[in-house]
Homo-oligomer: A and B are copies of this chain.
Amino acid sequence: MIGEIIAIGSELTSGRVLNTTSRFAAGLLFGAGHDILSMATIGDTPAEISKTLLRATKRADFIIVTGGLGATSDDLTSEVVGQALGRPAVFHPEIFDKIKARHVKADDGDLKTLKKLAVLPTGAEILNPEGKMAGYLLVHDSKPIFFLPGVPHEMQELLADKVIPRLALWQGGEANLVKQRVYKVFGLGETEINRRVAHLEREEDGRVRIGYYPVFPEVHLSLAVIAGDRANIEKIFQHLEDEVKTALGDALFGTDDDTMESVVGELLLSQKKMLATAESCSGGLIGYKITAVSGSSNYFAGGVIAYSNDLKEKFLGVDSDLLARHGAVSSAVAKAMAAGIRSKTAADIGLAVTGIAGPTGGTLEKPVGTVFIALSTPDETIDIPCRFAGDRWQVQELSAVTSLDLIRRLLLGLKLQIC
């Protein structure tokens, strides 16, 4: 079914509050096989509420309206809806009794305000008789319109427990099955990924959906299949997933909730390896990413933010001659830093990064974005010279994620010269 979501509240259109409920609803509905045509966010304005709702009834198979159901003066949904759909709002004493029972300490003034919660459009079917604020269903032109409170957790509960099952019944159990997975890629651009997998969308009569979501510096790819029956969907999905995996190769580092740092953490843990870092231009970002994963103390010893040459010498034992001869931003110094942090901490892997994040500090020979990464193991110390494009934030981010990807590649025996 095709749906529209309408969120009502001037706190949303003034930017004061972020609308998270529409996104939650869209995700749940999409996963249940429905398509969302449009998500409208509008203020507490009668004319706009009325217009948006009437327009939606002409286009969508179902409508979700959130917000504006409270007791304060700017909550107008029930009143406006009653007028717009020709269903005058009526007082429900049985609802008001329940409200009174929950507000035993309320004085007459409070009760007068709360009375509004029991005034609903004619024909409203209450979805949550025990709720603080009524959520209800109106059927208009044979289409279901669900009115839900804007409070995120009340709305989410009603949506999952009442709305999704009602929609499934609406179609007589014919709802489509959807299977979706997200693939996370580092080292391939959106356009290159698009080129490699776009043909899959033409398979299976338009029942395959591929989305590209760049989350700098990664690209996330969403694969969804819509099918009629469970056996069929699993078979189709497996085939498409195999194709996606082949197309992405070793640039695919994880799926769904994986992050680069969680993937690296799991590899270090399963291979019982300790990591230590020596960061210059990334300034601590690699350490921060690694320690953002709970339990990282099991595989991360720590490291040095060797921002000055002095600290490179003192903490990492980098030779002052070497610094003078090659400069702090060089393969030689990166290797000395990686070997240094490994030997000082007795870690299994030493990782080092030194570079020019910009916007100043670049030279003709070593422009902004020049970054040297090195990995040191008991067997060898390898340098990976990189040149990244972007502003300071991007160069730091690329330095950190490339470094983590290199540890992943080292532990999986993949190609290391990726820059």
The answer to whether A286 has its CB under 8 Å from any CB of chain B is yes
- How far is B31's CA from A290's CA once the two chains are assembled, in angstroms? 38
Evaluate contact between B294 and A284: CB separation under 8 angstroms.
no
For window 1-33 of A, CB contacts with B under 8 Å fall at 10-20, 22-31
Evaluate contact between A294 and B358: CB separation under 8 angstroms.
yes
Residues of B within 8 A of A203 (CB): none
Residues of B within 8 A of A35 (CB): 13, 43
Q: Which residue from chain B places its CB closest to the CB of A113 in the assembled complex?
A: B191
Q: Which residue from chain B places its CB closest to the CB of A114 in the assembled complex?
A: B191
CB distance from A258 to the nearest CB of B (A): 15
Evaluate contact between A307 and B300: CB separation under 8 angstroms.
yes
The answer to whether A350 has its CB under 8 Å from any CB of chain B is no
Q: Which residue from chain B places its CB closest to the CB of A307 in the assembled complex?
A: B302
For window 318-349 of A, CB contacts with B under 8 Å fall at 344-346
Residues of B within 8 A of A160 (CB): none
Chain B CB within 10 Å, residue with most, of A24, A194, A195, A211: A211
Q: Which residue from chain B places its CB closest to the CB of A281 in the assembled complex?
A: B291
Residues of B within 8 A of A30 (CB): 13-16
Work out how many copies of this chain go into the complex.
2
For window 271-302 of A, CB contacts with B under 8 Å fall at 277, 279-288, 290-292, 294-297, 300-302
Evaluate contact between B211 and A113: CB separation under 8 angstroms.
no
Contacts A37-B48, A294-B359 known; 13 new A-B pairs at CB < 8 A: A15-B30, A16-B30, A19-B19, A22-B41, A35-B43, A39-B40, A71-B190, A110-B189, A277-B305, A280-B302, A282-B291, A283-B287, A297-B307
Could you jot down 11 A-B contacts, CB within 8 Å? Answer: A11-B211, A38-B40, A39-B42, A71-B190, A71-B194, A72-B191, A281-B291, A284-B284, A294-B357, A295-B360, A311-B345
Spell out A's residues near B (CB within 8 Å): 10-20, 22-31, 35-43, 45, 48, 52, 70-74, 102, 109-110, 113-114, 151, 182, 189-192, 194-195, 198, 209, 211-214, 216, 222, 224, 277, 279-288, 290-292, 294-297, 300-308, 310-311, 314-315, 344-346, 357-360, 389, 392-393, 396
